[in-house]
Amino acid sequence: MHRTVNSPGMVRLRRAEFVLRWMRDIGARPYARRAATAASALGMLGLLLYMVGTSLDVLAGAQWHVIPGRLVIALGVLSVPPLMAAFVWGDIVLALGGTGSRGRHARAHAQSLLARRLPGGLWHLAGRAAFYGADAGGVRIAMTASALEAGGILIVGVIILLAVLPGSEIWGPLIGVVAASISLAVAPRAARIVRARVPLPRPRVALWLLCGALSWSAGCSGVYLLYGALYPLPEDSFLPLSVAVLASVLIGGLAWVLPGGLGLRELGLTALMASFIPPPIGIALAIAFRIITTTLDLLWAFVILRLTAARVTAGGGSGQ
C-alpha cells in the first residue's frame, strides 16, 4: 500500500492537484492578479507611447483617411473571433463532461475573457478555474478545456501561417492538409494526454478546428479592412499583412503575463509590416487594432453576460 501511495503516478497526480488548487485560489483574488501584471503592462504601454511620441511629425504628415463603410464592415468581421471562441469553449467543456447549459459556459468564457484582456493570460486560466471550482472535477475540466482550446488555436494558426507564407503556394497548403489530418487522427488519444475522462470524437475536433480557421481568417480579413479604412494600403498587401497578423498574434500569445500580449504583439506586427508600411504608421495602426479588438471583446463579453444572466440564474447554474 505504501508503495502504491508513493508511486511516480501518484506523485504526479498530487502535483497536478496542487497546481489546480493554486490556479483556483489565485483566480479568486482579483486585486492580487491585477497587481501582479500592472507593472509589465504599464511598461509595455509606455514603450508603445514612447514610439508614437517620437514619431509625431511622421504621423502628422501621413495620408490618413476614414472610410466609414469599410470601417463598419471591419468591426463586423472582427466580431467573429470572440463569438466563435465563446461557442467553441462551451462545446469543448460539454464534450469533456461538463455540466450546465451552453449559456453557463458562454458566461464563463466571457468572464475569463475580461481577465485575459485586463490582468493577463495567466489570470484568464485562473478565472476559469475559479468559475468551475465548485463543480465536481470542474477545475480539471476547465484546465483540460483550456489546453485543448489553446492547442487548437495554435495548430490552426500555424497551419494558416504556413499556407500564406511567400513562396508557399504549393507546399504550404499541402503541409496544412497533412497537419489537419494528423490532428484529427490523434484526437482520440489527445484526451488521454490531458487526462480527460471521456474520448474526443473526431467530428467534434474537426468542428473546433474549422471554427479556429474561420476565426483566424476573419481576424486577418478584419485587420486588412480596418487598416484600409484608416490608411491607404499598398496594392497586393493582403497576404503580407496576413502573415504579419498571424505571426504577431502567435508570438504575443506566448506572453501569458501580459494582457493579450500587450506590446509584444504590436512590436512584432510593426516589424513584420515594415517592408510595406513605415514603422511609425505601423505602430499607430497596431495600437488602433489593439484598441478596437479589446473594445469588441469587452463589448461582446458584456452582451453575453447580460443575455445569459437570467438564463443561468433560472437554471441554478454558477454565475460567478
Mean pLDDT of the chain: 76
Cα–Cα dist 173/69, whole Å: 33
Contact 41, 257 (CB under 8 A): no
Instruction: Check residue 2 and give its pLDDT.
Output: 45
- Compute the C-alpha angle 126/85/113, nearest 5°: 35
Q: How far apart, in Å, are the Cα atoms of 63 and each of 223, 225, 294?
A: 18, 16, 25
Instruction: Check residue 112 and give its pLDDT.
Output: 75
Contact 111, 305 (CB under 8 A): yes
pLDDT tens per residue, range 226-285: 999 999 999 889 999 999 999 988 887 766 555 555 667 888 889 999 999 998 899 899
Contact 215, 79 (CB under 8 A): no
Cα–Cα dist 290/283, whole Å: 10
Residue ranges in the chain modelled with pLDDT below 50: 1-3, 9-10, 13, 27, 119, 193, 316-320
Distance of CA 41 to the CA centre of its chain: 17
pLDDT tens per residue, range 171-186: 666 666 666 666 666 5
Contact 85, 112 (CB under 8 A): no
Q: List, in order, residues 6 or more apart from 300 with CB less than 8 Å away.
A: 79, 82, 83, 86, 110
Instruction: Check residue 1 and give its pLDDT.
Output: 44
Report residue 142 as a C-alpha cell. Answer: 476547465
Cα–Cα dist 18/228, whole Å: 49
Could you tell me the pTM of the whole model?
A: 0.77
